[in-house]
Structure 1
Amino acid sequence: MGAQVQGVTLSARGAGRARAGHPWIFRADVESAPPGLPSGAEVRLADARGNFIARAFWAERSPIALRILSRRDEPLDEGFLRARVETAVARRRWLFPQADAFRAVHGEADLLPGYFVDRYGDLLAVQHLAEWAEVRRDVLARMAAEACGARGVVARDDGSSRDFELLPRRTEVLLGSGPMTASYHEGELLLQVDLLEDHKTGGYLDQRENHLRAGELARGEALDAFCYHGGFALQLARCATRVLAIDQDAAAVARTRENAARNGLTNVEVRAANAVEQLRALDKDGRKFDVVVLDPPAFAKRREGVAGALRAYKEINYRGVRLLAAGGVLITCSCSGKVTPQMFGEVIEWASQEAKRPLQLLERRGAARDHPSLVGVPETDYLKCWVLLAP
């Protein structure tokens, strides 16, 4: 990186965005930049008059040309990055002093935009969703492992977010050896993840607190559509009479069964099937449930997919409402960041009207506390988890 930090001039719009606290500057808002800046280069941002704005990292290819890390005129060196990582981990230990799994670093919210770390026992799963983090992946892995006391670090850079950044998809072990499987707890349940084979970074820790809340509300007959590894289903099973869990991923279904057996839960039926088709079939058969959980994968990852996503959300929520017994509870989720809370509310309102079932809104929940959103950065406020009751 060198001692000499080069300067980048922002447009008036870009300067305003940076001063408002947003960590992303798009390429269209770069007024001028030195030729040949390498990927991940540290730069000093200024407005057209030369007034200092922030320190940032440069991206050669991404539509987001700059990620801002500090509004102080200070070097973004290894000492700076290490302090950010250690501070983020310390916050999680304060929030969850007994937890053996949590998101240790949450990108933009922890002022390390584009870098994410999940801890599962003595292993870490990391994602590099910005060029600056990509070129520093080995250094960051060592920092994160030391801060968390981890024996291994797996990079899960195989998701679609890398496509937007024009980075290649890949999965690799950055640190450590041996099996990259870990056990961890959600409440009293013992779960297992394979960091090389499972989806994304393993266990969808952003839903952890919502899983536990669902368990508190469980009773009677329960349904968990899109169950993945059984995060909701297994918490429901601790208090419900019976639980039907559905996912079309055969590997996820097998893991749900393993997790149920590991915890002595014999009241869970797990089906490998298309959840949308199963919702229709259950509705046609007149089935009713005291608790219905809808936690689908992201139906819209880009703006152009929103219309189709809303149709899908309407379909599953309509079926979910129809499947509720009198006094039943619907826990419905969307992790599509492009689907705003207002849009999601309109979907649920439509489902209620179409199903001719009034709904009480009991709770509007979001991601767990180790996945905080950053005020003024709406892109970080992505997860909706609403709890409703059919009186």
Structure 2
Amino acid sequence: MSLLNQALRAALDARKDLLAELHQQGTNCYRLFHGSQEGAGGLTVDRYGPQLLVQSFHQTLELDALLAVHETVNRELGLETLLVYNDRSQGNSRIDRQDPVYRANEAALADLTAQEWGLNYRVRARHAGQDPLLFLDLRNARGWVKAHSAGKTVLNLFAYTCGVGLSAAAGGAREVCNLDFAEGNLAVGRENGALNPHLPEMQFVQSDYFPAIRQLAGLPITQRRGQKLPSYPRLQQRQYDLVFLDPPAWAKSAFGTVDLLRDYQSLLKPALLSTADDGVLICCNNLAKVSLDDWREQVLRCAEKAGRPVREWQVMPPASDFPSRDQQPPLKTLILQL
């Protein structure tokens, strides 16, 4: 038995109780092998409903090893999953779409549906972007939102494919607004909504983060000297009962720069001001090089300076299918009671 197969079997064995719990709660999306922490750095194995997505980030996986992974997972789960292999070990984590190792069949690459917390989600192994349409390590946070949204107004910032918004709608939110710069992301969010026709309709706003959140917060939108700002949707100043802030690590636009390492405050302050009194702000930081303790202190100081001191806070760690030997997972989530 290869070292990879041994590590995979150990990982599957460690997840038996968790998978039973997830299946009972209506979830068939989860990480089966977290290679960086379980013996094969740069390799991940994820289940998205009927699909098994294997991705390598450091080096290409050989065909025999890939097929052995697929066989082991199928035997353990008692399923015939549809295999897709994305080799992202070449420059800049781009998917090798030539499929020199393994070419997935049409059924595996078709639009599929998977479930989390009893909700339906669109699954596509290959699409215009690079990452899967549902980030699995945020599952616990989406579950918290679903359990705490009844009767609330919810603002989902950097909404991506709107999983947090969908969870809020399922939890009985009075109003849900999903905001993202990319129309393609929001289009998938609309698909997710259509896959759950029993839920109330959500709102979708396509906008750069900075002009949108600064309008909601009642802050001016500054113009760089000599530069004309692009057009943007006009929004009224208002606050929401629950705000979810999950920015990418880095992004730049004409309105500002998203930089989780050097300037989280410029993202956080207007989000704080857009959160109602006695409301909740959930904020995330996915940079591995940022420690939870340092970032938490930075967040609490920023809230104090913004005049929105935090009354209570709690850390929401990823579930155990994302193990962390040092208890410092890359994704850090804080739930702030204002």
- 2:324 alignment partner in structure 1: 373
CA distance, structure 2, for counterparts of residue 199 and residue 383 of structure 1: 18
User: Hey, which of these two has a bigger chunk of strand by percent?
Assistant: 1
1:218-229 counterparts in 2 under 5 A? 218-219=149-150, 220-229=152-161
Q: Is 2:5 the partner of 1:91?
A: no
TM-score, length of structure 1 as denominator length: 0.70
Q: Is 2:192 the partner of 1:254?
A: no
CA distance, structure 1, for counterparts of residue 312 and residue 62 of structure 2: 43
- Aligned with 2:33: secondary structure? strand
Task: Say which of 107, 113, 118 aligns to 1:183.
Answer: 113
1:127, distance to aligned residue in structure 2 (A):
2.0
* Amino acid corresponding to residue 30 of structure 2 in structure 1: F
**Per-residue deviation, residues 46-94 of structure 1 (Å, max 9, x unmatched):** xxxxxxxxxxxxxxxxxxxxxxxxxxxxxxxx53322222332333343
RMSD, matched Cα? 2.5
Which ranges of structure 1 fall in alignment gaps of 5 or more residues? 1-77, 301-306
CA distance, structure 1, for counterparts of residue 132 and residue 94 of structure 2: 17
- 1:203 alignment partner in structure 2: 134
* Amino acid corresponding to residue 29 of structure 2 in structure 1: A
**Per-residue deviation, residues 145-191 of structure 1 (Å, max 9, x unmatched):** 11232543323344xx7548xx8752455254014233211101111
CA contact (8 A) 1:92 1:103 kept: no
Moved more, 354-363 or 187-196: 354-363
Q: Is 2:42 the partner of 1:100?
A: no
Alignment size in residue pairs:
298
Q: Is 2:122 the partner of 1:122?
A: no
1:55-204 counterparts in 2 under 5 A? 78-97=1-20, 98=23, 99-131=27-59, 134=60, 136-149=61-74, 150-158=80-88, 163=91, 169-171=95-97, 174=102, 176-179=104-107, 180=109, 181-197=111-127, 198-204=129-135
CA distance, structure 2, for counterparts of residue 353 and residue 226 of structure 1: 24
TM-score, length of structure 2 as denominator length: 0.80
1:311, distance to aligned residue in structure 2 (A):
4.7
Task: Say which of 242, 263, 272 aligns to 2:196.
Answer: 263
- Aligned with 1:201: secondary structure? coil
CA distance, structure 2, for counterparts of residue 232 and residue 191 of structure 1: 12
Task: Say which of 254, 270, 274 aligns to 2:208.
Answer: 274
CA distance, structure 2, for counterparts of residue 368 and residue 332 of structure 1: 17
Which ranges of structure 2 fall in alignment gaps of 5 or more residues? 75-79, 219-235, 252-257
- 1:303 alignment partner in structure 2: none
1:309, distance to aligned residue in structure 2 (A):
2.8
CA contact (8 A) 2:304 2:310 kept: no
Q: Which has the larger radius of gyration?
A: 1
* Amino acid corresponding to residue 292 of structure 1 in structure 2: V
- 1:234 alignment partner in structure 2: 166
Q: Is 2:310 the partner of 1:387?
A: no
Bigger relative contact order, structure 1 or 2 (CA pairs below 8 A, ≥6 apart): 2
1:5-44 counterparts in 2 under 5 A? none
